């Protein structure tokens, strides 16, 4: 791997522990792909951290569905470990073996301002192990409704930034499928999701549209872009929400109208709005 692809201040020990580098410091094609994806995502997150750092207070980041905590470890190594304050990263993961492995690695690397919690995203909303407010919430490929739970977590924790890469959104497609026969009789536009593959893809798309409208209804500015090229992942939609205390009425009205027009009123509780 060309040396310029590894940043000068990166921990080689960490890259080896994450199997991005081999024991002799080399890299295979799969590892190069993983590192490229992480770097690409860091290009979006690091400016947010730098913006927060200008306020001079300790930073808090919560990563949902952390898996092996690639993102958390890389962010700590490249940004958090240089800070002489109480800035902290919380990684949320349900699989105990991954949580234990991450705890061991953090201890070996003296990354002492990282916490690894064995919780579901929904459980984390009420967990006392997490602070009452956080600066950034990330959820990368948190499957199906876990992304919605991450949004609820971020809203309740008054996160200033939310970074999402949604994955495997099946819940809304199931509702569309259930209502398909009566929908087809009502409106020709329902041909958009008549075929099963279109039901799945349209359901996934509408799910993300509703998520964006929900965030806007809570005062966030929302940007949607592509995370990586199609050659890496078919699930590459990146949603970045920045709290700006914007007017909420339009997002709220449009969300309710989309649910009504598509016959999805039963999904209203999923995309809850400000009181």
DSSP, residue by residue, 120-186: -HHHHTT-TTS-SS-SEEEEEEEETTHHHHHHHHHHHTT-SEEEEEEE---HHHHHHHHTHHHHHHH
Among 73-77, 147-151, 167-171, 252-256, name the one with the lowest average pLDDT. 167-171
Q: Vertex 54, ends 90 and 102: CA angle to 5°?
A: 20
- Residues 247-260, mean pLDDT to the nearest whole number: 95
Please check the confidence at residue 196 and state whether its pLDDT lies above 60: yes
pLDDT band, very low/low/confident/very high, at 74 (cuts 50, 70, 90)? very high
Tokens of 268: 């209203």
Sign of the dihedral through C-alpha 194, 195, 196, 202: negative
Neighbours of 94 (CB within 10 A): 15
Please check the confidence at residue 224 and state whether its pLDDT lies above 60: yes
Q: What is the pTM of this model?
A: 0.92
Nearest C-alpha neighbor of 89 from the set 101, 97, 216, 70: 70
pLDDT band, very low/low/confident/very high, at 3 (cuts 50, 70, 90)? very low
Q: How far apart are CA 123 and CA 7, in angstroms?
A: 36
- Residues 67-96, mean pLDDT to the nearest whole number: 95
- What residues have CB less than 8 Å from 184, skipping those under 6 apart? 190, 191, 194
Angle between helices 196-217 and 146-156 (to 10 degrees): 0
- Residues 7-11, mean pLDDT to the nearest whole number: 85
- What residues have CB less than 8 Å from 6, skipping those under 6 apart? 12, 15
Alpha-helical (H) ranges within the chain are: 12-17, 29-53, 70-78, 96-109, 121-124, 146-156, 171-178, 180-186, 196-217, 249-261
**Residue 48 falls in which region: left (phi positive, over 0), alpha (psi -120 to 50) or beta:** alpha
Q: Are 216 and 246 in contact (CB under 8 A)?
A: yes
Among 2-6, 21-25, 176-180, 193-197, name the one with the lowest average pLDDT. 2-6
Q: How far apart are CA 162 and CA 155, in angstroms?
A: 9
The radius of gyration of the chain's CA atoms, rounded to the nearest angstrom, is: 20
pLDDT band, very low/low/confident/very high, at 183 (cuts 50, 70, 90)? confident
Q: How far apart are CA 253 and CA 243, in angstroms?
A: 19
Tokens of 8: 């000068």
Please check the confidence at residue 97 and state whether its pLDDT lies above 90: yes
- Residues 18-39, mean pLDDT to the nearest whole number: 80
């Amino acid at each position: 791997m060309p040396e310029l692809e590894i940043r000068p201040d990166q921990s080689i020990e960490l890259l080896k522990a994450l199997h991005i580098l081999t024991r002799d410091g080399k890299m295979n094609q799969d590892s190069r792909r993983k590192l490229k994806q992480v770097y690409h995502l860091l290009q979006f997150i690091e400016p947010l951290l730098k913006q927060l750092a200008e306020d001079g207070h300790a930073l808090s980041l919560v990563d949902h569905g952390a898996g092996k905590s690639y993102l958390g470890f890389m962010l700590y190594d490249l940004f958090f470990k240089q800070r002489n304050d109480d800035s902290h990263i919380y990684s949320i993961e349900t699989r105990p073996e991954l949580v234990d492995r991450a705890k061991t690695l953090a201890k070996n690397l003296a990354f002492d301002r990282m916490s690894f919690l064995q919780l579901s995203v929904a459980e984390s909303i009420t967990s006392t192990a997490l602070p009452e407010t956080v600066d950034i919430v990330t959820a990368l490929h948190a499957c199906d409704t876990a992304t919605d739970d991450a949004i609820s977590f971020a809203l309740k924790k008054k996160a200033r930034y939310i970074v999402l890469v949604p994955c495997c959104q099946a819940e809304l497609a199931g509702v569309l499928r259930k209502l398909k026969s009566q929908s087809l009789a009502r409106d020709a536009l329902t041909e958009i999701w008549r075929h099963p593959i279109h039901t799945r893809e349209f359901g996934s798309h509408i799910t993300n549209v509703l998520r964006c409208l929900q965030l806007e209804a809570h005062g966030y500015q929302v940007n949607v872009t592509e995370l990586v090229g199609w050659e890496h992942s078919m699930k590459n939609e990146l949603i970045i929400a920045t709290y700006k205390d914007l007017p909420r009425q339009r997002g709220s009205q449009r969300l309710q109208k989309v649910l009504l027009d598509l016959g999805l009123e039963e999904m209203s509780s999923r995309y809850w709005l400000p009181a």
